[in-house]
Structure formats: structure tokens, C-alpha cells
Amino acid sequence: MAAFFGLIVNPYMTSSIAAPANARLTTEQRVQALLAKMTLAEKIGQMSQLNASDGHAPDYLGDDLRAGRIGSVLNVVDVDVVNELQRIAVEESRLGIPLMVGRDVIHGFKTVMPIPLGQAATWNPDIVEANARAAALEAATTGVNWTFAPMIDISRDARWGRIAESLGEDAFLASELAAAMVRGYQGEDLSAKGSIAACAKHFAGYGASESGRDYATTNIPENELRNVYLPPFKSAVDAGVVTLMASFSDLDGVPATANEFLMRQVLREEWQFDGFVVSDWNSVRQLSVHGLTANDRDAAFEAATAGVDMEMAGDAYISHLEALVSEGRVDIETIDTAAANILRAKFRLGLFEHPYTDPADLPPIASKEALQTAKNAALQSVVMLKNDHDTLPLNAETMSSIALIGPLADAPYEQLGTWIFDGDPELSVTPMHAIHSLVGHELDVRYVRAMKNSRSRASEAFDEAVEIASDSDVAVLFLGEESILSGEAHSRADISLPGDQAELVRRIRATGKPVIAVILAGRPLTLTNIVDQVDAILFAWHPGTMGGPAIADLLFGVESPSGKLPATFPRMVGQIPIYYNQKNTGKPPTPDTVVHIDDIDAHAPQLSTGMTAFHLDAGYTPLFPFGHGLSYASFEYGDIRVSVEEIGLGETVTISAELTNSGDVAAEEVVQLYVRDLVGNVTRPVRELKGFRRVRVEPGQTVRVEFDLHTDDLAFYGRNMTLMTEPGEFHAWIGGSSDAELRTEFRIAASK
């Protein structure tokens, strides 16, 4: 393959399109110059992306590449094959246009980072950016120049398997982290080696699939769409994301792939996006399955006119767009715009200058830095949900033995989670191995898997588990979901611990030994049936390659847990959708209005005035709220202040509070700012996250944490769907979770 590097023989590559002599042309001039040379078929070719997932792609795609009928391929990660595909495109096609080479690089490549939901639990944009950077560097060694990430669908439904891939339930947190991911993948210079194009997906509303069933219908009123589901996409666009992917889902009766409102009005007109939109896998042809169109030709018409620039893994465009243009149904401007959007991305990626990949230009796979990045991310992603009587951290010096029990203690593949096409389980360090390395010289470390996998219903091995627990100072249970239980098309209706895990917990509890649950999972789980049976819970998501060492360090207090929940944990499935930034309703629940069905002395009277908004069997609070996460330090918040009580539109108020670490270990805390706009042109959430900051506080230290809030930060879409900030009263809370109690107030004056 060495012959490819730098050897470019296509005449167009040395002509006015890409020659250094013309480097002074702007990207736009180069796009237009190239477009002017293209035939209709070549333009439509750019709009087509094909699967190239086996090693023979050059054989079966070669002729189409030579004829300019392919703009992009996906799922090829053999650098020699990628270079050969690029060589055919660049040297043997008439115009020599290089290929976008796409791949789902969702949370790492060979080195796997925590699942995106776990990354969101770090509340740390620097960590998220570093993860994406490390993933880009590894993926780029194969010639992949485009990842289908970040996935930034807001989800308020943990049944949905794809919540694992998301950044959680909150628009503000997801927006901050979406921008960080885009920066990480695309780097400071998109054309630099190791930078790859990002793709914000799935545009839009996919996370609201009915009952969390993947691909199911979504019905989202425009106001909610704009206030909740679209902000992360706007943030990704502002961060310079080169591409977006249209969602599979049906939004209010118009599937996203044919949704002109989303792609033309919002994305192009309002946000001025000038990259390109790719469909999801075969989602153009699926418009007919949805029942929106009768055949592939109509599907191609709907998708192209709505603004899908490139069709992924389907042939509706290549088969029908030419005819649709000749019939006059599709304007040539539509085709020109789509092709130009794609070419613009290719120029920005620098593909015309360096279409080929030499892995030697990039760091090796699983470099020391990549593994350290993965460990840092895992460390900060773990959320300590409870820690009664300071059961954690464990002190190896005062113990002699530890029992490790459960199907996920030593499961190198399972700890990687969903979407790890290229992830290498051989690189995984499991908790069992990491605990051995950390304390094996001091402690007797015993291990019983107890269950074949997380779903097993066979309990024969429980006796052995009980035996080692009884003989040890402490039992650590590694529970949760194996990786296949979350991800695309892997939704669950019951999100409690699967199989006989709850029974295993009960059996170990009965030994009387301290019990710690380390839970690895792709989603929030309903833990109601085990939460009182354990002394402490570390919720580790699927923590990736370096999950083991991170968990070992947290268990033994080398580091303090500092993750915070990016999604609410319900008590039971029937509470879903449950999320912190709900509306107040006309009948908000309070502790004294709640009646519980199991309380035989009480009853909820039937009154003509009604009662309040709660469930008879679940109340109205979650098991663990958004933003929750404990520490080995003791954090106390106090002295909340506003810089001024009243500001005018266009001004900034500073809200601050003191944070004291009254414990005896240094630790990081994610300080969170929530705001409520008391009266609005449309009803406003009871709280909204408006700022967060990770701070390290030494024992005995007090720091003041400040947040600047500009009135633009308080803007929302009102009844007429325009973004505006309304004068009025606001409440603000600072604390360590969404149920923070430390409150202050300020006002925006009508005019000042």
C-alpha cells in the first residue's frame, strides 16, 4: 500500500480543484468549481453511501467507484482495503473525489471508554472530549474518517435500550457534553491527521419512542421539541459538527427522514447548518414501510426534498433521483445543494489533500495515554448511590479476606457495553483482576461467579457464593446487565436486575456480612427490591476497557467516587417517564398529600377537588434523583448569594455558594446550579440545570463556587416558538443534586 501515499495521478487532483497553487481558493470556491464539472449522475453518486463490511469491497464496489456512483462507504476498518477504495475513487474515477469512510465509533475504538451514559455521569466535558479524541486517533489508523457519534437523543425512558448511547435526560448537560464530543472527534483542525468528522444523531426526537420500544413512534409537541430535544443538536452545530443523521423514528406523523420542518426549517434556515445530513440505515426506503410513501421512488423524493443529503445503505437515491430530476419532481438545486454539502465536508476534512492513511502517522492502538484516558473516564463515571455506615471505602489493612461474587466480576466482554464493533475484550481489565492486583498481596481474594450470566435463573452455585461470603470480611457483588441487554433494538419492559440476581443478593445478605453491590448496566435500573439489602452501591454503567482498575481504586478509596446521575432512577417502571425537570402541574404533590396503597389505615378520598399528582403505589419521587451521587468526602453547601437581586435583559447575575469538605479525604464534587422561572408564557419546569462545575476540595477546605448567568441563558421557546427571555422572578438552587435545597432568588426587570 506504500505506493498510495502521496502518489496522486488523477488529472483533476492536479487541476484547479486541489492543486496547492490554488490553495488560496476558499472551500466554497473549490466546492462550486468541482460541482460545475459534475454530471447529474456523479452528483447523485456523492449522495449515496454503501456498506463495505467485508474484505472484498474493492471487488464488488470497484466499478461503482470508478463510475462516480458512491460518495461514501461504511463499516470497513481494514486500512489496506480503505486505501484501495480511496485509490480507486481518487485515481480511477473521472473527478477523483475521495470517500467519506464511516463507522460507529461510539465510545472508543479498540480501547473502549465507558458507555456514553456513563461518560455523561462524569459531568466532565474535558473527560468526554479526551475520550472522543482517543477514539478518533485509534479509528483514524484504519482510514475511518467519519464517526456516527455523538448520539445526543434526550431520553426520559430507561426502558429504551439506546439510552446507553445517550448523554441522559437533560438538555443542558447533553448540550455541554455534545459540544465536547464534537471537539474531541473533530479536533482543532478537522483536516489534521487523527481528526474525524462527527455526526450528531438521531435528528430528532428518537429518545421519546413510545414505551421505550426502539423505533416506535414519537409524538413530541413543537414546544417540547424545541425546549428539550433540539438544544443538544444546536450545541453540536455551534461546535462545528460536520454531519447530522436523520432518525429512524416517526415524529408527529412525519418520519424524521422525510421531515422538512426539522431539516429545512430548523437545521438550515434557523441554525444555518452547512454540513450534510445522512439518513439512518436504509431509512429512506423505510419511508414506505412507515406508510408515508408507496414505493422507493416516492421515498427518494420525500427524503431528498426534505433535506437528507446522503442515503445510508440503501439504493433509493441511486436508482430514482435521476428520473425524479428529469420528470421535474426534484429540482436540480436540491441535488446541487446536497452534493455541495457533502463536498464541503470532504474539503474540510482535507481528504483531497490526503486521501490515504498511514497508521504509522498516528499513535499505536491501546497506547498508554488511551488506557489512562479510559481509566480516568471510568473513575469519574461511577456513581455511589448509597453508602450506609461508611461501608466504603474498604480498608485492606483492617481486613483479611474479601468475597467477589457475581456474573460481572470477571466478564471482559460484558463490561464494554453496547456498540463496540471494534472494541477489544482482550484489552479489558476486569474488576476481579484489578482487585487482585491492588490488594491481592494483602488480602485473601475469593471469587465465585454464581450465575452463568446476568439473566440466569439457575441458583445451584449460590451455596458456594454464600460460603465464601460467610468466610470473608465483606462481600462485593458484581451485578447488573450483560452488554446485550441495552443498545439498539435492546429495550426492556422490566428494568430491574435480571435473572435471579435479587435472590442472590438476599442469600448473601443473610450471611450478615457487609454487602456492597457494584452494578454494571447500560441504563438506570429499578433497584427497589435490593436497595435495602445492601450497604453500599457503586453504579458503574458499562465502564469499558479500564473499568476494573477504576472500580478497584474506588472500592479501596484510592479515589473517591464523583459521578452524578445523568438520568433519574425510578422506583418502578410505572413511573416512567420520570425526570427532574417536570412541570409543576396545577396540583403538585407534597409529602402530606401522598397516600400509599399499602397503608391500610389511609385512603385517597374521592373528592370533587381531586388530590395531587402522584401514584398510589409509588408516590412521586424517584429512587435516586438526577444529579445524585455520593462521595467519601462530606460536602456541605451554604451561604448562597446573588450578586444583584435584579438585572435587566442582557445582563448577568452571579450566583454562588460555599462548599465545605468536612470529611477527611480530598475529593471532587460536581456542583450544580438549578433555576426555576416562576411564571412563563408557557409553563416552565420546576427546576432546570443551568450550570455545573467539578471542583476538588481538600479536607477542611471551603471554596466558593460561582456561576455567571446571563439572561440569554434563561431563554426558552414560548407559545409562538421563538426563543425569548421573559422578565420576572426566578429561584436558584446550588447543591450536589437536583433535589438541592439551598435556594436564593433574583429578578429580571422588564426594562432597566
Point out which residues bind ligand NOJ (CB under 6 A).
104, 148, 201, 248, 280-281, 488
Strands, E, within 22-123: which ranges? Answer: 48-51, 72-74, 100-103
Q: What angle do CA 557, 541, 414 make, to 5 degrees?
A: 105
In DSSP terms, which residues pair with 201 in a beta bridge? 151, 245
Based on CB atoms, which residue is closest to ligand NOJ, 102 or 563?
102
Based on CB atoms, which residue is closest to ligand NOJ, 159 or 354?
159
Based on CB atoms, which residue is closest to ligand NOJ, 104 or 296?
104
d(CA 473, CA 403): 8
Starting from the edge strand earliest in sequence, which strands make up the sheet with 652-661, in order?
635-642, 652-661, 702-710
CB atoms within 10 A of CB 368: 9
Name the pairing type of β-strands 444-448 and 401-405.
parallel
**Shortest Å, Cβ 488 to ligand NOJ:** 6
Residue with cell 460460603: 467
Residue with cell 419532481: 329
Starting from the edge strand earliest in sequence, which strands make up the sheet with 688-697, in order?
646-648, 743-749, 728-735, 667-677, 688-697
Q: Name the DSSP class of 270.
A: I
d(CA 152, CA 708): 25
Based on CB atoms, which residue is closest to ligand NOJ, 217 or 634?
217
Backbone angles phi, psi at 96, to 5 degrees: 65, 40
Based on CB atoms, which residue is closest to ligand NOJ, 248 or 632?
248
d(CA 55, CA 66): 18
Based on CB atoms, which residue is closest to ligand NOJ, 236 or 675?
236
The question of whether 473 is a catalytic residue gets the answer no
d(CA 539, CA 524): 9
**Shortest Å, Cβ 641 to ligand NOJ:** 45
**Shortest Å, Cβ 148 to ligand NOJ:** 3
Contact between 465 and 508 (Cβ < 8 Å): yes
Catalytic residue among 157, 280, 422, 535: 280
Cell numbers for 663, please give them: 470529611
**Shortest Å, Cβ 415 to ligand NOJ:** 22
Based on CB atoms, which residue is closest to ligand NOJ, 229 or 707?
229
Q: Name the DSSP class of 60.
A: H
Q: What share of the chain is helix, strand, coil (3-state, %, to 5)?
A: 35, 20, 45
HSE-CB of 468 using CA atoms within 13 angstroms: 20
588: left (phi over 0), alpha (psi -120 to 50) or beta: beta
**Shortest Å, Cβ 282 to ligand NOJ:** 9
**Shortest Å, Cβ 138 to ligand NOJ:** 18
User: Catalytic residue numbers?
Assistant: 280
